[in-house]
Amino acid sequence: MSPAIPLVLPEQHNQNDTPAEGTRRIIDGAERVFYDGYWIKVYVVPADTLEAKKRLIDALTRRLFNHTEHGLNIPGTRLGEARLAFERETDPARRRIKGAMLAGALFNRAADIFRKLVELQTCGIEILSDNPLMRECGRCLLEAMELGKNVLHRSGEEGIDELWGEPFRAFSIPLEDFYESRYIKIGQTMRDIDRIAAAMIGNLARLPAFTAAEPAIIELASTAKIKTETLRTDPDIFDVWSSMVTAGERLTNLVPQPTAATGCSVCHDAMEGLHLLRQGRDLIFYITRARTPMPKSTREYISRCEIYRETGHAPLAFFCHD
C-alpha cells in the first residue's frame, strides 16, 4: 500500500522547499509526480491507440453514470427518442432531467461509434482523424459535455463538470496529456480531502463531545488520499479500499461523549455535531470515489462546520446517500 500522506495542507510547507509542479521522483521504489503539494502515484500510460482510447472512454463513461443522478444511462440506440423528448419538454425542471438523459444517450452513442471504429481498425482498415465517424463521435461527446453542466452529483449536491468533460478530452488529446491532467485533478482532490478533514478537526474534534473523533478523521483522510491515487486495476486496491471503508465506519460509529454543563456561552447540540461529522465523511467519500474536487460542496461544508463551532447549531444541508 502507498504510504499515507500527513494531514498537512500544502500552504503549510516551506515554499522554498516545494518542487515545481509536475516534478517526478522515485519515492520508496515507486515513481511519483508532484502536484498541489502531494506526491501522487504514477501509472504507465498505455500506447495511444484507438483500442486504448476506447477502453479509457468506456471506463470514464461508466464512472460518469456511477456518480451522477440516477436514470441517465440511456442506450445510444435511443438517441433520437431522447432528443425528441428533450426538445418537446417545456417544464424547466423536467427539461433539465431530460437534457441529462440526452447527454447519457450521446455518451453511449459515442462509445458505440468508437467500438465499431476499433473493430474496423482491427480488420486492417485505417481510421484517420478526419473520418466522418470520428467527427460524429467527437460531436456527440462535445454536446453531452454541454448538456451535462446542469446534472447533479448523485448525492444531490453540485454537479461535477469534470466527469462530463473527461471523455471528450480523452478522445481529443494524446493519452499522455490526458493522464497528466488527471494527476493535477488528483492533487486538487487530495487538497480538498485535507481541507475537509482540517475543518472537521478544528471545529468539531476540539469540542469535548467529539475529542475521540480526531484519530478517526485523520485515518479517513489518509486512506482517502491513497484511494484517490490508486487505480481500480492496482493490486493494492483490495487493501486500499477496505482500509478506507473501515476508517469511515469507525467515524460513523463514534458516540458523542457526555459533557458537563459549563459557563460557556455556546451550547453545542451533540446530535447536530454528529450529523455534521457524518456529512464530512460522506463528502470525503464522494470526492474520493469521483477522484475530482467538489469545490462548492467543500466550501459549504467547511462553512457549516465553522457556524456550528460558533453557534452550537449547524445549518441544514441536503445530502443523500448513494
* Lowest-pLDDT range of 9-13, 116-120, 197-201, 254-258: 9-13
Q: CA-based angle 233:38:251, to the nearest 5?
A: 70
Q: Is the pLDDT of residue 8 over 60?
A: no
Torsion angle of C-alpha atoms 214, 218, 219, 220, degrees rounded to 10: 100
* Same domain membership, residue 204 and residue 95: no
Q: What is the DSSP letter of 316?
A: -
- Band the pLDDT of 159: cuts 50, 70, 90: low
Query: Tens of pLDDT along 90-149?
Result: 999 999 999 999 999 998 898 888 888 878 877 777 777 778 888 888 889 889 888 887
Let me know: does 42 contact 33? Beta carbons within 8 Å.
Answer: yes
Element (H, E) at 154: none
* Same domain membership, residue 194 and residue 302: yes
Q: Is the residue at 245 inside a domain?
A: yes
* Same domain membership, residue 132 and residue 205: no
| CA distance linking residue 65 with residue 59, whole number of Å | 10
Q: Is the pLDDT of residue 260 over 60?
A: no
* Same domain membership, residue 140 and residue 209: no
C-alpha cell at 153: 452529483
| CA distance linking residue 54 with residue 112, whole number of Å | 10
- Burial zone of 199 (CB within 10 Å; 0-12 exposed, 13-18 middle, 19+ buried): buried
Max Cα-Cα span within the chain = 81
DSSP sequence for 51-80: HHHHHHHHHHHHHHHHHB-TT----GGGHH
Q: Is the residue at 86 inside a domain?
A: yes
Over residues 45-67, mean pLDDT = 84
Q: Is the pLDDT of residue 240 over 90?
A: yes
C-alpha cell at 88: 418537446
Over residues 312-316, mean pLDDT = 81
* Same domain membership, residue 199 and residue 134: no
Element (H, E) at 40: strand 38-41
Q: Is the residue at 221 inside a domain?
A: yes
Q: Is the residue at 20 inside a domain?
A: no
Q: Is the residue at 129 inside a domain?
A: yes
Q: Of 142, 157, 172, which closes a domain?
A: 157
pLDDT at 144: 87
* Same domain membership, residue 194 and residue 112: no
Q: Is the residue at 233 inside a domain?
A: yes
Range of the domain at 102: 50-157
Top-confidence range, 33-42, 118-127, 132-141, 263-272: 33-42
Q: Is the pLDDT of residue 5 over 90?
A: no
What total of structural domains would you count in the chain?
2
Q: Is the residue at 177 inside a domain?
A: no
Neighbours of 33 (CB within 10 A): 22
Q: Is the pLDDT of residue 35 over 90?
A: yes
* Same domain membership, residue 195 and residue 113: no
Q: Is the residue at 119 inside a domain?
A: yes
* Same domain membership, residue 190 and residue 295: yes
Separation in Å, CA 89 to CA 23, 94, 102, 107: 50, 7, 12, 21
DSSP sequence for 104-130: HHHHHHHHHHHHHHHHHHHTT----TT
* Same domain membership, residue 287 and residue 193: yes
* Same domain membership, residue 229 and residue 142: no
Over residues 213-240, mean pLDDT = 95
* Same domain membership, residue 299 and residue 228: yes
C-alpha cell at 75: 442506450
Q: Is the pLDDT of residue 7 over 90?
A: no
Over residues 138-163, mean pLDDT = 78
- Band the pLDDT of 238: cuts 50, 70, 90: very high
* Same domain membership, residue 123 and residue 69: yes
